[in-house]
Amino acid sequence: MKHNTIPMPDEKGYFGEYGGQVIPPDLVAIMNDINRAYQEISKTPSFKDELNDLYTHYVGRPSPIFYAKRLTEKLGGAKIFLKREDLNHTGAHKINHCLGEALLARHMGKTKVIAETGAGQHGVALATACALVGIDCEIHMGEVDIEKERPNVTKMKILGCTLVPVSRGTRTLKDAVDSAFEEYLKDPVNFIYAIGSVVGPHPFPMMVRDFQSIIGKEARAQFLEEQGRLPDVITACVGGGSNAIGLFTAFLDDELVDIVGVEPAGRGLEKGEHAATMSKGVKGALHGFECYNLQDQSGEPLPVYSIASGLDYPGVGPQHCLLKDLGRAKYVAIDDEECIDAFMTLSRVEGIIPALESAHAVAYAMKIAKKMSSNETILVNLSGRGDKDADFIADKLGL
């Protein structure tokens, strides 16, 4: 059976029973306008040419695939390869969809782009894209994350965006989303909300996926060319899930490729201090769409935790939910300690400091490589670099 979910979602924005537009009727009209504009503008040669030109000459695409030889030798077992999204301009995969969203905003004649950020990578990438296309940018960020991700906060200010600290609730990513959405609703005609992942109401899960799918298209072609075959396992970290769906999309029809999303188990799945939505979540609505999410008895989102601010989210993209139900992808959880171990190991064995988010996927690869044979291969989406996390980890480990 073909699991091809690339033509999805359906016209109402559903991936199976997930996604859609769980929003007030007046907002539905605005989202449908964005969808119409996206469908028309993104297919024009001028938009495609400009975006591809920026990917090549601004972002530095294609990002290479690196064989982590010393890590592989240290672990024994399967060969580990890294898709180096950390080498993109701004240091992560986020720039892929931020350029698309900023160009779309300019084509639609919007005056301001509003967004939330957790680890600050989406914020930096969007502030960068907005500076490039000449449009105002406003980023909402939880106070906890502002404290933790200082380097990214500084970059956003240098790039000229307005940074709005969010002091409500847990003062992290979920609250930043709430705050940004409220600001957006003040003038949705002139503002556009640039969602930072494959979440939110339709068309955002589809739109962000489409912009991020360049990762998987490149990786599949590169791996075939360099190795003469496809990887046995592909893996990526999952919070909202944009870097993961970006990698996974190109491999969905390759039945022999195992697809694995890696969530944060935080301080432990039993303690409740985690953000492992697929492992522990239930079906429900959050931030305008249906998905697996972590919620209490009355349907309110639970407080979530991860050492990686970018994974600190109580929901997950609707296409991931469908892939889980279909059995086409599986979702596992990695805890803080395993994440830190992978962060330090990759840094010291390969000289690559990964983002804490990406280190979850590296940790999973390290875990399974030993159990696999030396002629098998694992491709990890190294979705971001760890500059933003270096001081935090140095403090934590007393380096």
pLDDT tens by residue, 346-368: 999 999 999 999 999 999 999 99
Each residue's pLDDT tens digit, 267-285: 999 888 999 999 999 999 9
- pTM reported for the whole predicted model: 0.95
Provide the residue type at 318 as one letter. P
Q: Chain-centre distance of CA 48, in angstroms?
A: 22
Residues involved in catalysis: 94, 116, 383
| R_g of the chain computed on alpha carbons | 19
- Cα separation, 254 vs 231, whole angstroms: 10
Residue 133 tokens read as 């296309």
Give 256's pLDDT tier (boundaries 50, 70, 90).
Answer: very high
Task: Report the pLDDT value the prediction gives residue 376, as an integer from 0 to 100.
Answer: 98
Each residue's pLDDT tens digit, 200-216: 999 999 999 999 999 99
Question: Closest Cα to residue 320, out of 242, 391, 214, 378?
Answer: 242
- Cα separation, 27 vs 202, whole angstroms: 11
Q: Half-sphere exposure of 214 toward its Cβ, with a 13 Å CA cutoff?
A: 27
Whether residue 2 has pLDDT greater than 80: no
Name residues whose C-beta falls within 8 Å of residue 49's C-beta, 6 or more positions apart in sequence: none
Other CB atoms closer than 10 Å to residue 158's CB: what's the count?
A: 11
Each residue's pLDDT tens digit, 284-341: 999 999 999 999 999 999 999 999 988 989 999 999 999 999 999 999 999 999 999 9
Whether residue 5 has pLDDT greater than 80: no
Each residue's pLDDT tens digit, 22-53: 999 989 999 999 999 999 999 999 999 999 99
Q: Which contacts (CB < 8 Å, 24+ apart) does range 56-60 have?
A: 58/89, 58/99, 58/132, 59/88, 59/89, 59/95, 59/96, 59/99, 60/87, 60/88, 60/89
Whether residue 1 has pLDDT greater than 80: no
